[in-house]
Amino acid sequence: MKILTRYLLRAHLGPFLFAFCALTGIVLINTFAQRLADLAGKGLPLDIVARFFLLSLPSNIALTFPMAVLVSVLYTFTQLAAENEMTALKASGVDLKRLVLPLLVVAGGITAGMVFFNAEVLPESNHRWRQLMVDIGRKSPLLTLHEQTLNALRTGDGRSRYYLQAARIDHMTNRMRDVVIYDVSDPRIGRTIYADSGRMAFNEDRTDLFLRLFDGHLREINFDEPQNFQRLAFRRQVLRMVGVGNKLELQEGSGYRGDREMTAAMLHGRIDTLRTELWGVRSAVSTAAMADLDRALGRAVPTAAAATALPSSDPAAEARRIASDLRSSQARTSSLERQIREYQVEVQKKYSIAAAALVFVLIGAPLGVRFPRGGIGMVIAASLTIFALYYVSLIAGEALGDAGHVPPVVAMWGMNAIFAALGLWGLSRMGRETGTARGGGLAEWLSDRFGRKQG
């Protein structure tokens, strides 16, 4: 049995590696295509592009790793059945169900690794990827220039440095008013440009910044010879800053993290914090309600809330205050409950996607044995169908779980449970319903089932 186990695992290795590389490459290309508009035309250095791909990998791997498991199981069992190896094993007295056991052990190890990967590695990479995209989005100097503020600009070679200040900047038209530019490239020369208005533009590669200045003058003084002061007036002047668009300032870090950027420990901590806050809001509402009831019944209110309440001589105002407080508390309670659900759904999603490797082994093995004549076409069709059903249900479940229509556990684990049940049912029939190279096609199976119903 050990020899058979090693043979079976080796048979899966090649298809798994091929499927994993192919699927990851396809998903990565799709990710790049979606972000092409954000990356193109900004003159990004190669290390930034490489970082973009590197940080995109973990989120893709989280999806393609379980997918590759399904493809390899389907392909291997289809080939074994098509070459009559399954028939030979069955004739030798080998229980075909036992063939799945070592695969489940390996899939269990993969699931354990993916749990750690999804809970710890993936959130950190998502956080760094988002930061990188924010930094790339800020790469254009126009996005970082602020009105009535000294904006530092440096050319790509680092030789020229400027400080630009404008009283008004129209980001829609790239126009500026009351422009002052301080050229501090040479510490021995003080050069300042004043202009009534100006306009910014980039070259085609968005690497060089052109400042078209109107109705102004230039003041220049040599600090070694302060008596040589120059003042030059102009109606129109163009100042070119070479390589300004090539500079990409990477931020050190940001304290904000979305739910997909939080580790499992962060999510659990956030859930506990929100639950404590929710309990505080509900307690405050309960205390205020009791105080309002005591006040309405004419009883003394021994709380601090009584001192801040409106006089009871104005019942209409008191009623409006109570209604406003209740609406505010209800809105806050609903917001906290939704946040808790969203974080709970995210926690369950990390674990459910990791467990997909086990589920795909359960459903892939009996499916591959049953349809040996399908070949690679059946493998691709079955894989795409299962992938589509699984990930569509994952997206729908996340939306339903966030909205509170279903519990987070059901939302994220529902399709896993359905596929696992189908897989166990298929395994129970695996030894009794084995296809061969001369039978077991999908069309034959449908014809057989349809014929039975008619008969």
Q: What is the DSSP string of 302-317?
A: -STHHHHSPPTT-HHH
Q: What is the pLDDT of residue 433?
A: 56
Residue 41 has pLDDT above 70, yes or no: no
215/155 same-domain check: yes
- Quote the domain boundaries for residue 94: 2-138+349-454
Confidence of residue 363 (pLDDT cuts 50, 70, 90): very high
Residue 390 has pLDDT above 90, yes or no: yes
Counted domains in the chain = 3
Q: Are 81 and 368 in contact (CB under 8 A)?
A: yes
Residue 452 has pLDDT above 90, yes or no: no
Q: Are 436 and 372 in contact (CB under 8 A)?
A: yes
Residue 252 lies in a domain: no
User: How is 3-29 classified by DSSP, letter by letter?
Assistant: HHHHHHHHHHHHHHHHHHHHHHHHHHH
Highest mean pLDDT of the ranges 72-81, 164-173, 350-359: 350-359
Q: What is the pLDDT of residue 241?
A: 84
DSSP state of 90: H
Go through the chain and tell me how many residues it has: 455
32/133 same-domain check: yes
Residue 251 lies in a domain: no
Average pLDDT score, the chain: 82
Q: What is the pLDDT of residue 24?
A: 94
- The model carries a pTM of 0.68
Per DSSP, the three-state class of 193 is strand
Out of 321, 346, 371, pick the residue that ends a domain: 346
Residue 22 contacts by C-beta under 8 Å, 6 or more apart in sequence?
none
11/115 same-domain check: yes
87/174 same-domain check: no
Least confidently predicted of 163-167, 243-247, 287-291, 299-303: 299-303
Q: How would you class 305 by CB atoms within 10 Å of its CB: exposed for 0-12, middle for 13-18, buried for 19 or more?
A: middle
Residue 317 lies in a domain: yes
Q: Are 406 and 397 in contact (CB under 8 A)?
A: yes
Q: What is the pLDDT of residue 355?
A: 94
Residue 66 contacts by C-beta under 8 Å, 6 or more apart in sequence?
114, 353, 354, 356, 357, 360
85/98 same-domain check: yes
Q: How far is CA 259 from CA 124, 333, 356, in A?
A: 11, 19, 21
Q: Are 42 and 139 in contact (CB under 8 A)?
A: yes
Q: Each residue of 240-296: pLDDT tens digit?
A: 888 775 556 666 656 678 888 899 999 999 999 999 988 888 887 777 767 666 666
Q: What is the pLDDT of residue 131?
A: 84
Q: How would you class 190 by CB atoms within 10 Å of its CB: exposed for 0-12, middle for 13-18, buried for 19 or more?
A: middle
How many whole angstroms separate alpha carbon 168 and alpha carbon 215?
A: 16
Q: What is the pLDDT of residue 437?
A: 47
Q: What is the mean pLDDT of residues 428-441?
A: 58
Q: What is the pLDDT of residue 280?
A: 86
Least confidently predicted of 26-30, 39-43, 81-85, 261-265: 39-43
Confidence of residue 193 (pLDDT cuts 50, 70, 90): very high
Helices (H) and strands (E) in the chain, counts: 14, 6
Q: What is the mean pLDDT of residues 157-174?
A: 83
Out of 291, 322, 346, pick the residue that ends a domain: 346
Instruction: Take residue 99 and report the two structure tokens written for it.
Output: 């063939």
